[in-house]
Amino acid sequence: MELMVYREMPQEYEKFLYNFLLMYGVRKNFPEDSVSLFHFIKEDVGESERNRLYREYFSTDEWEAFRKKENERREQIKKERRQEELQTFRKQICADIQSSQDMYGIQDAIARHLSRLYSEREKAEICLELLDSYLEKDCKVKKRTAGRLADHIVDLFAHGALEWKTVQEIINKMEVVADECGKD
């Protein structure tokens, strides 16, 4: 039967072996052959099929070690994706900053981004880092922008993303000036 599947339907051969290995009693009746076949096809099947084979053919310790390794791999992938996302976010903010014509535009760009980041601490930290790098001692900030920045910074503090000392340092660097229209 195996030879027929191999010759007549080679694309189905691994599926045939996979199903054979999971049949009741195969491991018990063909211990050496089934383990050899398992090692032969384990890397060539899909992830869910591989997990079923591993569960069937690994010892409890091997299975637990495999699961631990898989979880670590998934966490690493998740961490790498998050880093890529943060880099993309930083590039977006930097592009907005680059397109700003003056310090007021830079402050507005950062305030716009901060307004959406109450639950994303890492992104808020990127915004605040950039804001801090552009705010010098006694930096002039338009009243409207200063209000928006202060609101966002205090909200971040309220959500636990900032310490009060950091809030004070940022606010103390700002010198509020009138908006263009002259309204205070």
* Average predicted confidence (pLDDT) for the chain: 81
Q: Report whether pLDDT(144) > 50.
A: yes
Q: How many separate domains does the chain show?
A: 2
Of all residues in the chain, the percent with pLDDT exceeding 70 is 90
Q: Report whether pLDDT(183) > 70.
A: no
Q: Are residues 45 and 100 in the same domain?
A: no
Q: Report whether pLDDT(50) > 60.
A: yes
Q: Are residues 91 and 169 in the same domain?
A: yes
Q: Are residues 52 and 94 in the same domain?
A: no
Domain span at 38: 2-57
Q: Are residues 33 and 93 in the same domain?
A: no
Cα(110)–Cα(140) distance, integer angstroms: 15
Q: Report whether pLDDT(64) > 90.
A: yes
What was the pLDDT predicted at 113? Answer: 79
What was the pLDDT predicted at 84? Answer: 95
Q: Do the beta carbons of residue 163 and residue 180 sit within 8 Å?
A: no
Q: Are residues 37 and 99 in the same domain?
A: no
Across 121-136, average pLDDT: 79
In whole angstroms, how far apart are CA 142 and each of 133, 148, 160, 184? 18, 10, 27, 9
In whole angstroms, how far apart are CA 37 and each of 14, 21, 31, 44, 54? 10, 8, 10, 11, 12
Angle at 178 between CA 173 and CA 184, to 5 degrees: 115
In whole angstroms, how far apart are CA 2 and each of 9, 34, 63, 95? 10, 13, 28, 61
Whether 66 maps to a domain, the answer reads: no
Q: Which of 67, 2, 57, 10 shows the shortest CA–CA distance to 35? A: 57
